[in-house]
Amino acid sequence: MTAKRWVPLVEEWTWLVLFLVFCAACASESAPPSSADNDSDEQSRNGESDCACVSDFDCQLGDICIDCHCIGGGAGPCSESNNPEAECRQDRDCLIDEYCDENTCKCLPIGGDLDGEVPYYEWDCDKLPCIQIAPTVLGYGAVQYLETARNTFNIRNRGGATLDILSMEFTALSSQDFKWPDNQEPDVPIHLEPGQTMQFEVDLTPTDLGVDSATIQIICNDLSNDTGKYRVLLQSECKGSAQIDVMPIEYDFGPVEVGESAPLQITIRNLNPDHPNEPDPIPPERCKLLAIQGIQLDPETTRHFRLQNDLSFPVYIPPSDTFQFRVFYEPKANGVHDAKVRILHDADRNPYSPDAPSMPVEVDLTGMGAIPCLSVEPDPVDFGKVTIGYQISIPVKLRSVCGGTVRMCGCDWRAPLEPAFTIQDPTAACHSEIPVNSSRTFWLDFLPTSRRFYGVVMKLCSNDSEKPTWLLGVEGEGAEGGPHVEPNPILFGSVLVGTDETFIYKIINSGTGEVMLQGVDFQYEGPQPGTPSPFSLDSEDVSALPIVIPGATPGGEPGTVDITIHYQPVAQAQGWEDVATMVLQTNNHSQPTYEVILRGSPIWPICEFSLINENTEVVPDFNGIIDFGEVNLSTSKTQKLRIANEGEYVCKVLSVALGPNTSSEFDAFPRLPVDIQPGDHHDILVSYAPVYYPGRDSGSIFVETNDLRSDNQYFEARLAGFGVNPTICVTPETSLSDPYDFGEAPLNTCSEPQEFIIRNCGVGTLEVECDNGQPNIAGCNGSPAVGPCQLRPYTPQTPDEITFTEQFCPGPYMATQLCEIRIKSNDTHHPGYVIHVKGKGTFCLPDPPGDPTCTDPCASGQSTHEVCDGYDNNCDGQTDEGFGRGEPCEAPSGCGAGAVQCNPNDPLRQPTICSTEPGGTDYQGSPELCDGLDNDCNDLTDEYVDSQGVLREIGEPCVYAVGICGAQISKTECNPRDPSMSAIFCSTQPGGSQSLATEEICNGLDDDCDGYVDEGFVLTGPDAVDLLNCGGCNRVCTVETNGEQTGTPECVAGRCRIQSCFPGLIDADGRIETGCECPVDDPCNGARRIGGGVEEEATP
């Protein structure tokens, strides 16, 4: 293709540029980019992956960057002299705004096309300005909120004349988040000489969470695209999703003093929601900002909690970053206080509410307001008699006892002062802060200078709200030189009963002569007269009496003697403190006796047993029998055997086991050892679940503790229960398919009454629902029921029954009418027993001669409203009008199409039904199956009636699992092996989706959930030596005679044997069942003495 080329003169060029600029200014800013622009953008995008250069600066000196390729500086594509042969084969081999002409890339024409139909002008880049923009699309990626990202593009003049950039502006629809650096727009016009390149920078600072885009429009004198307009597109990326994480999600401030403030810092984190180990994870920079729209306290009216004051919203949290705020607990009153911190957010993923991620996150707060209380021990401080010139010290303990921190503000002597008393406070206890349940100690010294009584008062100052000033009495007596004792009193503290606590006691002689300790006596008043003292002198010290106490050395060092005091407490009443006076007898004439006070508190575990029944009520006067009473088969009852520690030492539950002859219907959980702290308790869940056969069951449960009382150390509770299966029987029998038929009865009359009798034909007491002592049986037109609410099994000796009568009264309706009489009872198979009756109204029955009893209702003016029953009830000459009989209908739940017909069962309440639904002539349903379908077409899916007569559906809570499968509430679900509704089971049972069943092991539990405990185990062989499981699970070896233990058992190869008899007893008959039944002095012929597992003949 060839064409004549027109090259404008300078004057023509100037007017042409001004004209086109004027037209461009008048053009719409919203006009879509030209196809050339689009092609240019596409070419730029397609070349991003293998682009060798973006600007001339990326090339070697002297080369220029053309279409992502570096070429010689004089080889521009619009230069005819430098174009190589076969520069192009087709247009796509050339740059934007060029075409391929005779193997040469040429600039596109102005004002024409290439088909030769109209004149056109080829834009000659060798002589005219040609703009080159690289890149034409700036991608900023995911720039975060209020962060600034900068990008650049270059404009190069690849033509042969000066390129004038007349305008460079953002279009009207561009995002305001894109700006020129420092808001300084380019200073136009800009003149670029041929080959000259200029770089421009654009900043993006997002002020929201969305995606930002903009367009920079450039107007220049390159008119190769007719308009002189060129565009640069700016784009940011989607910022992904956010996941909220809050720490802590709950917090307990603990005790905080009223009026004080306790801060808590809560951290909100924007987590990367994508797991790094998953394929193609989204890096954190692609996650979006997490917006916190508000933080609130619930309730808003709380006086005890507050948020920090400087919170303002919204708050934006970048990915993997955090936002922290503080909440303060400032109790205004003592007691426990609760509140919630509610965090409003826009996270896409909320682990605290996965199904509703937009729900606010709530942080649960609790705290306890406390007030300070001071306790001082001892009060008063009595030094007793102290040798003149000798100093002794007594510690004074300051304790915080109420819950708040005690702040001491001083310990000062009140006038008149007494110099013999001084204070030592090395830890500054008198000006300390004492936390809850903590103490601080200072020391008081007493140095008497004469033989007299000394007394003074110390004033203790604190923030105790009830006793801010504590007056502490301090006294002592100066005595002449000689022995004195230290310390006094001796405090043993809390000592466990049965242990021996010792104390080394020092007797000091500050005199110059020897003193003889002649005896030590303990004066003790126990809970009962004559109770031995738990305090005693060490036996070696007793044998050493009298003991010489040497006098002081010439240098003034006093002589000393140590004696050992023992404290062996015994169990007394709870809270008892042992107090005794130790009297030291000496030969000192001025003071022959010295008294020392001894104090100690016996502590011991007190493991008390009680019973909590199934109604969570404490059983009064628990006598060690857990009687479940009557329990229906396939149900269960659970009671709690509670072990409470009422002592001051840990109560240890060492073992829990069911007795060897316990029925498998009983179970106990948990059976693991446990430590019960003082004031706490532990519950053992004892359950009775009769499964297969009615009758009486019994057993026992053994609990071993460290209680010192034998009955509570080896506690035994007897288990009793009676599995029952009460069954309701009604005469006459009825069913839905075979109701009791009263026959026909004339309109507006009643039939003869029919008596119904209810009896119990099962095992156990049948309990019928009653109101005010009367059976609650609602008939249709019958008499009130008469009889007891609880029916024993019917026998000639216990003829318990309930009777009532029923009549059929059709009223004015001639249709067949049905009625259901419902009886609620504890019959697990028929909890809502239904008696079905029916009858049909008729115009007239044949009249006896001379005794007409009825007439045609229409003839007698007794018309009623129309009923769909096949009769003209309203006497208008039409039958069943207005009910749409015969019209097409669709039965519910897919039972198919049918025709409208009268309801044969209950036309008064539901006049019509579809012929294919239950009760219709073309019923298409079937018995309900557990298959997720409505088989019986009653608009319910997989429904069943539970033991209480309540209609339920699959997926509701299930409590019928046995063994360990019943340890937690499960849900009902279909049996994959049997779709019938009678085969449904709990999800924790074997085969269920949440099955807890495991292989049966010898542990006293029903592990495989089959209703049997430890079944199928036979333990024999040389390793079968377990006394608790000898030859089988829970087979305990004992040597007892008439219920009392008479020897020591052993288990050999799974068989129980007598290892030895207790002293004084022998085994007379060689049978372990009778134990060691014969005393040694009883002439038992042939008796054998047993010892160490060896059988020996005993001599009578």
Residue-wise DSSP of 74-128: T--TT-TTTPPTT--SSGGGSPTTEEEETTEEEEPEESS-SSSSS--EE--TTTS
For the chain, which domains are there?
10-25+33-235 (2.60.40.10), 243-370 (2.60.40.10), 371-479 (2.60.40.10), 482-597 (2.60.40.10), 607-724 (2.60.40.10), 1017-1100 (no CATH)
What are 867-890's pLDDT values in tens digits?
887 777 778 878 888 888 889 998
Can you tell me whether residue 491 is helix, strand or coil? Answer: strand
Query: How large is the average pLDDT for residues 525-547?
Result: 90
Q: Which residue has the higher pLDDT, 57 or 896?
A: 896
What is the structure's pLDDT at 282?
52
Using an 8 Å Cβ cutoff, are 813 and 839 in contact?
A: no
Per-residue pLDDT band for 42 (boundaries 50, 70, 90) equals very low
The whole-angstrom separation of Cα 663 and Cα 550 is 75
Give the tokens for residue 683. Answer: 């519950």
Q: Is 329 exposed, middle or buried (0-12, 13-18, 19+ CB in 10 A)?
A: buried
Per-residue pLDDT band for 129 (boundaries 50, 70, 90) equals very high
Per-residue pLDDT band for 215 (boundaries 50, 70, 90) equals very high
The whole-angstrom separation of Cα 57 and Cα 193 is 16
**Position 481: which residue type?**
G
**CB-side exposure of 828: number of CA atoms within 13 Å?**
18
CB-based contacts of 1033: which residues, under 8 Å, 6+ apart? Answer: 1002, 1003, 1004, 1013, 1014, 1017, 1019
Please state whether the predicted TM-score (pTM) of the whole model is above 0.85: no
Per-residue pLDDT band for 398 (boundaries 50, 70, 90) equals very high
Rama region for 38: left / alpha / beta (φ>0; ψ in -120 to 50; rest): alpha
**Locate tokens 């507006």: which residue?**
748
What is the structure's pLDDT at 24?
42
Answer whether the bond into residue 416 is a cis peptide, omega within 30°.
yes
Give the tokens for residue 917. Answer: 């639904």
- The CA-to-CA distance between both ends of the chain, in Å, stands at 143
**Locate tokens 């890339």: which residue?**
105
Q: Is 288 exposed, middle or buried (0-12, 13-18, 19+ CB in 10 A)?
A: buried
What are 299-318's pLDDT values in tens digits?
888 899 999 998 999 998 88
Instruction: Concatenate the DSSP letters of all residues of 330-365 into one string.
Output: --SSSEEEEEEEEEEE--SB-TTSTT-TTSPEEEEE
Per-residue pLDDT band for 950 (boundaries 50, 70, 90) equals low
> Nearest 5°: phi and psi at 92?
-70, -10
Whether the pLDDT of residue 555 is over 80: the answer is: no
Using an 8 Å Cβ cutoff, are 479 and 389 in contact?
A: no
What are 822-867's pLDDT values in tens digits?
899 888 778 888 999 999 888 765 555 555 555 556 655 566 778 8
Segment among 21-25, 474-478, 722-726, 1082-1086 with least mean pLDDT = 21-25
What is the structure's pLDDT at 49?
40
What are 250-293's pLDDT values in tens digits?
999 988 888 889 999 999 998 866 555 554 445 555 567 888 99
What is the structure's pLDDT at 203?
95
Closest CA to 163 of 190, 129, 127, 140: 129
What is the structure's pLDDT at 232?
94
Can you tell me whether residue 678 is helix, strand or coil? Answer: coil
What are 483-507's pLDDT values in tens digits?
777 788 899 988 988 889 999 988 8
Give the DSSP letter of residue 159. Answer: S
Using an 8 Å Cβ cutoff, are 162 and 129 in contact?
A: yes
The whole-angstrom separation of Cα 657 and Cα 256 is 45
What is the structure's pLDDT at 64?
55
**CB-side exposure of 84: number of CA atoms within 13 Å?**
7
What is the structure's pLDDT at 777?
86
What is the structure's pLDDT at 174?
92
How many C-beta atoms surround the C-beta of residue 735 within 10 A? 10
Closest CA to 811 of 908, 934, 900, 732: 908
What is the structure's pLDDT at 271?
82
The whole-angstrom separation of Cα 967 and Cα 622 is 26
The whole-angstrom separation of Cα 1056 and Cα 1036 is 8
The whole-angstrom separation of Cα 451 and Cα 435 is 42
Q: Which residue has the higher pLDDT, 684 or 927?
A: 684
Query: How large is the average pLDDT for residues 530-546?
Result: 91
Give the DSSP letter of residue 40. Answer: H
Per-residue pLDDT band for 39 (boundaries 50, 70, 90) equals very low
Average of per-residue pLDDT values in the chain = 81
Percent of the chain with pLDDT over 90: 34
Report how far apart, in Å, the C-alpha atoms of 683 and of each of 396, 676, 680, 970, 1004 are: 42, 10, 10, 22, 17
> Nearest 5°: phi and psi at 957?
-55, 145
The whole-angstrom separation of Cα 959 and Cα 972 is 9
Strand order in the sheet with 483-486: 483-486, 501-509, 559-567, 535-537
Using an 8 Å Cβ cutoff, are 165 and 222 in contact?
A: no
**Locate tokens 């007691």: which residue?**
335
Whether the pLDDT of residue 95 is over 80: the answer is: no
Per-residue pLDDT band for 25 (boundaries 50, 70, 90) equals very low
Per-residue pLDDT band for 3 (boundaries 50, 70, 90) equals very low
What are 630-658's pLDDT values in tens digits?
998 878 899 999 999 988 889 999 999 99
Question: Cα Rg for the chain, rounded, in angstroms?
Answer: 51
Q: State the Cα torsion 1011-1013-1014-1015 to the nearest 10°.
A: -50
Angle at CA 659, nearest 5°, toward 657 and 664?
95
Segment among 85-99, 432-446, 524-538, 1045-1059 with least mean pLDDT = 85-99
What are 1005-1055's pLDDT values in tens digits?
788 888 777 776 777 777 788 888 888 777 888 888 887 889 999 998 888
What is the structure's pLDDT at 36?
38
Per-residue pLDDT band for 47 (boundaries 50, 70, 90) equals very low
What is the structure's pLDDT at 744?
87
Whether the pLDDT of residue 325 is over 90: the answer is: yes
Percent of the chain with pLDDT over 70: 81
What own/partner pairs with CB < 8 Å and gap ≥ 24 does 25-28 have? 27/227, 27/229
What is the structure's pLDDT at 1083?
56
Per-residue pLDDT band for 903 (boundaries 50, 70, 90) equals confident
**CB-side exposure of 804: number of CA atoms within 13 Å?**
24
Segment among 436-440, 667-671, 795-799, 909-913 with least mean pLDDT = 909-913
Whether the pLDDT of residue 84 is over 80: the answer is: no
The whole-angstrom separation of Cα 911 and Cα 909 is 6
Using an 8 Å Cβ cutoff, are 93 and 105 in contact?
A: yes
What own/partner pairs with CB < 8 Å and gap ≥ 24 does 94-100 have? 95/66, 95/67, 96/36, 96/39, 96/40, 96/43, 97/36, 97/40, 97/123, 97/130, 97/224, 97/225
What is the structure's pLDDT at 502?
93
The whole-angstrom separation of Cα 360 and Cα 488 is 64
User: What are the counts of helices (DSSP H) followed by strands (DSSP E) for the chain?
Assistant: 4, 77
